[in-house]
Amino acid sequence: MSEVSKSVEVTAQQKGAVKMAQIIYFIYLAGLIFPIAHLAGVVMAYINRGDGAPWLETHFRYQIRSFWMFFLYCFVGSLLVTIGIGFLIILAAYAWFIVRCAKGLKFLSREEALPDPATWLW
């Protein structure tokens, strides 16, 4: 295989990985209406990590961490529903999750790495 076809192949693979990261963000947003979609999104993120450039790996890590932190926040919120504060925690978790997806899509559209994919904040 010539060097030219190898570089084209890598570029096509990276474009596919970028598209997959974008699809996962949209699946996460759809999961706000259909919660089972979150599971599909995190499985896809686990499957596709390691398939892209280093800057793209930050997105897959960010997506995986976003899922697990959202799950944790919603779990804690559901435990605290009986004392009334749980609804506020769940509402805040949804807002937090939407902001994280929007931030990820912004950096992905610029083809940039996320500055800190391990953050618990936005």
The confidence score (pLDDT) of residue 24 equals: 96
CA distance 21 to 41: 9
What pLDDT digit, counting tens, does each position of 1-54 carry?
A: 444 334 344 477 778 888 999 999 999 999 989 989 999 999 999 999 887 788
The confidence score (pLDDT) of residue 6 equals: 40
The confidence score (pLDDT) of residue 7 equals: 39
CA distance 73 to 13: 35
What pLDDT digit, counting tens, does each position of 62-104 carry?
A: 999 999 999 999 999 999 999 989 999 999 999 999 999 999 9
The confidence score (pLDDT) of residue 118 equals: 82
Residue 62 in contact with residue 104, Cβ under 8 Å? yes
pTM score above 0.95 = no
